[in-house]
Every structure is written in structure tokens, then in C-alpha cells.
Amino acid sequence: MKHLLSVCDAQDQVVQLLDLAMWFKKGKSDDKPLKNKTLAMIFQKSSTRTRVSFEVGMGQLGGHALYLSTNDLQIGRGEPIPDTARALSRYVDGIMIRALKHEDVVELSENASVPVINGLTDLEHPCQALADMQTIKEHRGTFEGKLVFVGDGNNVCNSLLLISAILGLNMTVACPEGYEPNAEIFKKAQELAKESGSVLEIIYDIKKAVKNADIIYTDVWVSMGDEEEQEKRINDFMPFQVNEELMALSNEGAIFMHCLPAIRGQETTAGVIDGPQSVVWDQAENRLHAQKAVMYSLMKD
């Protein structure tokens, strides 16, 4: 694995990365494997969990994280991405970027001589997917079962399809028509599923979708960049709200997941996200450990 732009970049290392993340979480490592190394963190979008988890993670591994908004960089004034990649590569040991367009991250990686990590794009969110699988393994002890993603077939959904297909976890996407996951991603996930035995499907009937669910996962309806569609999206997604009635249709012991931030009263209710089935805070914490595993794997000597 040279970069982590997509879940597919870690296809052969997913299990190893998850084992390493859980090892880090148990506090097994007292050394500083990334001592004197620096991670440049480029943010084209605002962030809480991504920024803090990467910055804290680098510190715990003995390195240093450098926060760079587009206002801090010449890229914000029109410097070509290849020039930025080449310059940063002379200073730092790795680059994490939270970008508006996935193509920009690909272009950055093609011109950088250091590892590039996708901290979120419009197409994928691989670091979130790794943390999610770590959370599922911790709470369920297995990847057998059924994950139902409810709502917008967005970047998080795309990465979850890929990683579920790699690990053999069955996954159903429950969404309104017109909000399906990326077609190419879904096709790739189906190809991966042939090897693992995972069953992937898209269902427009929410009650049918959550039947026999072991994990119910949702995300905000209006992502950054979709604000102009806010009213339409809220109307379209309201029947797909994850509330107590919907959770009651899932299997006994089912868990609720959300990548955060959440808007209570929209994609979910306070009773669900703050209730006993919710594991969202473990999810949030596991971003730290999963990303430490990624940084260690990409940046260690």
C-alpha cells in the first residue's frame, strides 16, 4: 500500500490494519515509531474528528502534524496541485487531505513522493470505513451479519460497500430513488463480494431493508456542498429517518452507527443516537486508532 485514497488500496491489508488498530487501542505500543516524522494535513472542508484524530494520533506515534487550510496554502490562490505535491514532499513524510473532489486527491498522490491519505472526498471516506469495521468487530466479534446503511448513498456509503465486500459482511443500502451509491463503486464492490461471499443490495423499501439487520447505519442528509438542496433532501429522506420504530424492526441486539456530526430530529432521533443500542462514540474514538494504524503502515521506516 503506497497511498490510501480508496478502501481498495488497502484491500489486501484490511484485516492487518484492523488488528493493528485494536493493538494500538489496547495501548500495547510504548515506543514512538514515527518519531521526527511530519504529516501535512490539508483541509478544503471543515472538520472535527478528522483533524483531531490525525493530529493526536501523530503525536502519540511520536511525530508532528501540521494543519494547513486552503487559506494557508498557495493552492488556495491557484497554485497547481502537482506543484503543491512536489513542494510538500520535500518537507514532510506524509500528506493527509480532506478534499472537495476525489480527483484532486488522486492528482496530489500522482505527484507526491510521500504517502497520501484520503481524509474524505466526495467519493470515498476510507478512514471512516476502517474505524467502522473496528467498531463492528469490537461490539459483535464477527463480520457475519447484515449492515443496513439508511439514507444518502454518499462517500461514507461507498467506502462501506467496498470494505463490507472485502470482509464478507452483507450490506443493504436503503435509500430513496435517485440517491443510490456511486454506480462504479457498487459494481466494484459486487466484484469483490464474489470472492468473499458478501451479499450487497439496494432497496427502496425502508422497512423491508432493515428486517433482520444487525447494524443500522445512517449519516446526515445534507452533506457539505449540498446546502442548496437542503429543503428537497429533507423532504425526500424523512421517510428514511432512523427512529425507535425502525430500530424495533431490526434483530435483537442490533447496534446503531453514525459517522457524525448528527442532526437529531432529521436522519435519526435523540432516543436512538443517545440510546443503549448506539455505538457512535466508540466509532468516533476508533477514528484515532484506525488512522494510527494507517499512518504507521504508510510512514514507518
Q: What is the pLDDT of residues 99-114, one digit of tens each?
A: 999 999 999 999 999 9
Grid cell for residue 51: 483533524
Q: Per the structure, how many domains does the chain have?
A: 2
Task: Please report whether residue 113 resides in a domain.
Answer: yes
Catalytic annotation, pick one of 93, 214, 219, 236: 219
Q: What's the confidence (pLDDT) of residue 238?
A: 97
32 closest CA partner among 66, 64, 67? 64
Within-domain flag for 1? no
Identify whether residues 164 and 110 lie together within a single domain: no
Provide the pLDDT for residue 165: 98
Q: Tell me, yes or no, if 287 is annotated catalytic.
A: yes
Catalytic residue among 3, 125, 233, 289: 125
C-alpha atoms less than 13 angstroms from C-alpha of 23 in its C-beta half-sphere: 12
In whole angstroms, what is the distance from residue 195 CA to residue 223 CA? Answer: 33
**Greater model confidence, 223 or 140:** 140
Residues 268 and 178 in one domain: yes
The yes-or-no answer on residue 125 being catalytic is: yes
**How many Å is the Cα radius of gyration of the chain?**
19
| Model confidence, pTM | 0.97
| 195 and 239 both lie in a single domain | yes
- Given a contact cutoff of 8 angstroms between Cβ atoms, the answer to whether 233 and 221 are in contact is yes
Residue with cell 514515527: 34
Determine how β-strand 116-120 pairs with β-strand 94-98. parallel
State whether 77 and 141 are in the same domain: no
pLDDT tens, 111-125?
999 999 999 999 999
Share of the chain above pLDDT 70, in %: 98
Domain carrying residue 67 = 7-125+287-299
Q: Looking only at Cα atoms, what is the longest distance across the chain?
A: 55
What is the mean pLDDT of the segment spanning 156-161? 98
Alpha-carbon dihedral 100, 106, 107, 109, rounded to 10 degrees = 120
Using left for φ > 0, alpha for ψ between -120 and 50, and beta otherwise, residue 198 falls in beta
- Catalytically annotated residue among 8, 127, 157, 259: 259
Co-location of 269 and 208 in the same domain: yes
- pLDDT above 90 for 46: no
* CATH code of the domain covering residue 12: 3.40.50.1370
Asked if 156 and 218 touch (Cβ cutoff 8 Å), the reply is no
Point out which residues pair with 264 in neighbouring strands.
Answer: 268
Q: Is residue 194 situated within a structural domain?
A: yes
Domain match, 139 and 70 both: no
Looking at the domain assignment, is residue 95 inside a domain?
yes
167-182 average pLDDT score: 98
Q: Are residues 52 and 144 in the same domain?
A: no
Mean pLDDT of 159-168: 98
71 falls within a domain: yes
Among 8-17, 47-56, 68-77, 140-149, which is the least confidently predicted range? 68-77
Q: Is 104 a catalytic residue?
A: no
Q: Mean pLDDT across the chain, nearest whole number?
A: 96
Select which of 49, 98, 258, 289 is catalytic.
Answer: 98
Q: pLDDT confidence of 78, banded at 50, 70, 90? A: confident
| Residues 147 and 261 occupy one common structural domain | yes
Q: Is 219 a catalytic residue?
A: yes
Pick from 16-30, 101-115, 149-163, 231-245: least confident: 16-30
Instruction: Give the pLDDT of residue 139.
Output: 98
Residue 156 has pLDDT above 70, yes or no: yes
Asked if residue 25 is part of any domain, the answer here is yes
Does 150 share its domain with 169? Answer: yes
Query: Are 249 and 143 within one domain?
Result: yes
Q: Which tens digit of pLDDT belongs to each residue from 212-269?
A: 999 999 999 987 667 778 899 999 999 999 999 999 999 999 999 999 999 999 999 9
128 is catalytic: yes
Q: In the predicted model, is pLDDT for residue 29 greater than 80?
A: no
Strand pairing report for 64-69 and 116-120: unpaired
The answer to whether residue 2 is domain-embedded is no
- 115 occurs within a structural domain: yes
Residues 87, 165: one domain? no
Q: Mark whether 93 is an active-site residue.
A: no
| Residue range 76-92: mean pLDDT, rounded | 93
Predicted confidence at residue 31, as pLDDT, reads 85
Model pLDDT, residue 224: 67
- Domain co-membership, 136 together with 162: yes
- The active-site residue out of 49, 258, 287, 289 is 287
Question: Which listed residue (3, 8, 9, 128) is catalytic?
Answer: 128
